[in-house]
Structure 1
Amino acid sequence: MNQFLFALLSACFILTATEVIIMLSPPKLVVEYGASTSANCSAKVSADVHVVNMAWEAPVGKVVNETGAKDTILTWIVHNLTEWNIKPFCYITTKQNQIKSVLPVTVYKIPDNVSLSSVNHNGPYVEGKEYQLQCNIQNVAPVQNVVVNWYKGQTIVEKSNITGTGESPQNTSATFVFRPSRIDNGAQYMCEAQLELGPYGPKTPPSLASEPLSMNVHYMPEFFNSTETFVQTDKNLTLNCTVRANPLPTYSWSSPTQSEEFKGAVFTVPPNGIGSYNCTAKNQYGSAGKLFIIKKKDSVNTVLWTVIGIFLVLVVCIVAFLIMKYLRSK
């Protein structure tokens, strides 16, 4: 008996639920604060259902009634939406019950300002050390829809989600942890607060970016090639020890022929100079060395090429002689 009553009640519930279907268009609204918006409400009603009333319920806006050949369409219109937490709904009252459908509304606002700063740090950054950048976002809504894009130049290097809830505008922030390298020197970092509002939001997500923050990264000298080899020459030979470093390094040299200390980046070796020349580049963060080796001319190679040259000349002469002899015999 109990099972029979349960089945009967379930059938009645399904019948009632399917007698009236409320349709909202669009099914969700995403509106910028202060902008105008509208939504339509229509219904599919079974022929045997008597509708007493159909209406919108909302604290703001007005309703326009459009009666077509078959359906009634109620349009809710707001010309200046300034309510942050609004839940309008369309309802239909029949003799049996009342059915309503709530229209989800997201009211958004781009930030008043977005700024980028370094946390607990002033001055230049040092290669390899850990730092934090903070993106400060003022007066944005809804905060839970904010995604922070971190840019290096024009490239997004990281994305941060904001933890928070609420419909009305709030201040919020996000941090980015990084270890700068020498290739970051002169780079510009920037953060962008972007509102991800889903498929019913604007095609281009609303956003506001900070002013760029230029990186001044200090780093020690580092040679990519620590040794260079040259062959002795009868002219001056220039050894270039220039290396990138920030701040610029000082240079010192040691050489077999050096009579006094030399401090420049470029060292000139006189003609026929041989031996090892050591250059050291140094700044406050460290030093790096480079070795220049000047070898004596290889006399064996010179003799070898001379012999080969003479041999080739003899071969050419013999071939020419044989050709002339052959021609004369005819």
Structure 2
Amino acid sequence: MRIVLAPDSFKGTVEASVVAEVWAEGWSRARPGDEVVCVPLADGGEGTLDAVARAVPGAVRVPVGPVPGPDGRPVDGAWLRLPDGTGVVELAAVSGLPLMAAPDPTGAHTAGLGVVVGTALRAGVSALVVAVGGSASTDGGTGALAALGTRFHDSDGRELPYGGGPLARLAGIDTSGLAAPPPGGVQILTDVTNPLLGPTGAAAVFGPQKGATPADIAVLDAALARLAALLGGSPSAPGAGAAGGTAYGLATAWNASIVPGALRVAELAGLPDALVGADLVITGEGRFDATSAQGKVVGTVLDLVHHGAGVPVALIAGSIAAPLPPGVPTAIDLTALSGSSTEARTNPTHWLREAATRLAGEVRPTAAT
């Protein structure tokens, strides 16, 4: 049988490539004669670069060296060159929330992302894919755009410091020095559909995750509104609020397109081709809940399978907090399997391997006709 392993990362515990490897070990322990294909995935957030690097033959990771992290401390940057000349950049790797020494909702920024993107542009990429999930900031992407040559200044002509808070003093924007996008254009990968502003916008919904108080949220939302009034574009577009408005900033300044991250990563990783001839697909994530089918990896895998290959799908998750969707007859909850969430998190690879072994012993997949 042909078994396709297409997990998301178990966020905060195990990255997707390791999940796939451990599942492969567990499955092969019970059924060594099966063909097992690993296609680790991501939704446009943390782990996107690793997932694409693992899945695309000939992909080359290009180190950038120290770049400004979201709080100004240096972090190591990198981007991925695909064989067709496309460059892939991951915001979370250089401007992500876990890189903060302490929360700074009004001062955190995306300058490091801009430095990495600029390096990829100078290397001559034909197109650019920017995964924007997991950001630490609510700066509308102004840090990245500033690093790429845009000037954001106050009424006295002084350049504003990085961060979303200073945008409250924004009086003018000079894009004359902004680096041009690559000839093949720019895609922004995200797993959210929030607009830039208002009660469902970047500051209100995602600000609290970044340490924002109600007062901070009011300041940031007003600052983003000021940015939108001067920069233009479509602040109400679905996904514009992704990554603290970084999706809005890049979409407006570069006419970049905002696309579902999990689907684009699946395409880059070759999942549609891997599904051809499959007898069973195994997918999973840290927590399966009511949002899992809404632009996340698991939902994307289910859509691709059910609209194309039509093969059975099994789910392995750290915890299962929602009814299983149609087409998923089998699931394993690692918390239940291990006896507690603490044990599942303490020894994740053991229980991931054990879950795959149990599936291999219990499931008798048959390809759809």
Give the TM interval when normalised to the shorter protein. under 0.3
Between structures 1 and 2, the one with greater strand share = 1
Structure 2 length as normaliser, TM-score?
Answer: 0.18
Between structures 1 and 2, the one with greater helix share = 2
Which one has the largest radius of gyration?
A: 1
